[in-house]
Amino acid sequence: MPEHTHTHAPSRPLRLGVCGPVGTGKSSLIALLCRELAGRLELAVVTNDIYTDEDARFLRSAGVLAPERIRAVETGACPHTAIRDDISANLMTVEELEEEYPALDLVLLESGGDNLTATFSPALVDAQVFVLDVAGGGDVARKGGPGIERADLLVVNKTDLAPYVGVDVPRMLADAAAARGDRPVIGLSRTDRSSIDALVAWVEEVRRSQAAGVLVPVDPGPMARHVHAHEH
């Protein structure tokens, strides 16, 4: 008899990771998504910090979700350790939320602020967003890294700050697109409704793919390819 392969929709919510360097606006992005999606989806959040629960307290004080749906993991080491090398603390926290709230549609996991090498293990998240911001410098996207090049989505955040920090946003987005090939890039500002709509639409499309059982988590890898300037 020939073998038959069936695709089954998963019985758990989408797990979406958000990572990137310190100060790029990861917590604010998660707060934004909670405000946009909480009216139609069941949400929960897991934050990571080395020694504090500050990001979780920020989200609770912002009132974006019921406080008990926002949990904190204190990593005790570099944040990438807890999202990639030893995911046990995060995985247990996510599974506790999924058990307590069986109707969950989406769990957002925020990495603690790390450097350009931070990526999530595909054993922890189904898809991941890497966040840069224009205040970090217009050349950051061009310099690359595993998250910049191969995360499921790259967000260039705080585009409204560009006039104050001397960054050419179209050039930065073009550099990001060149580094990523056909992977999506969104320039995001809380003052730009169209950019918010694009982010929400991307999340909803990923959730539909995961619910249909066709989303395959892809590992961006811990290292980026090395490119010399003379190769451009």
Compute the distance between CA of residue 76 and CA of residue 26 in angstroms, rounded to an integer: 20
* 143 annotated ligand-binding residue: no
Q: How far is CA 197 from the centre of its chain?
A: 16
* 39 annotated ligand-binding residue: no
Q: Which residues pair with 106 in a beta bridge?
A: 14, 43
* 17 annotated ligand-binding residue: no
Measuring CA to CA, which residue among 107, 159, 108, 153 is closest to residue 131?
153
Q: Contact, 94 vs 126, CB < 8 A?
A: no
Query: Any idea which residue has 């959730």 for tokens?
Result: 207
Compute the distance between CA of residue 216 and CA of residue 225 in angstroms, rounded to an integer: 22
Q: Contact, 161 vs 181, CB < 8 A?
A: no
> Strands of 106-110's sheet, edge to edge?
70-74, 43-49, 106-110, 14-19, 127-133, 153-157, 185-187
* 26 annotated ligand-binding residue: yes
- SS3 category, 70: strand
Compute the distance between CA of residue 159 and CA of residue 167 in angstroms, rounded to an integer: 9
End-to-end CA distance of the chain: 54
Known binding residues for GTP are 20-27
Known binding-site residues equal 20-27
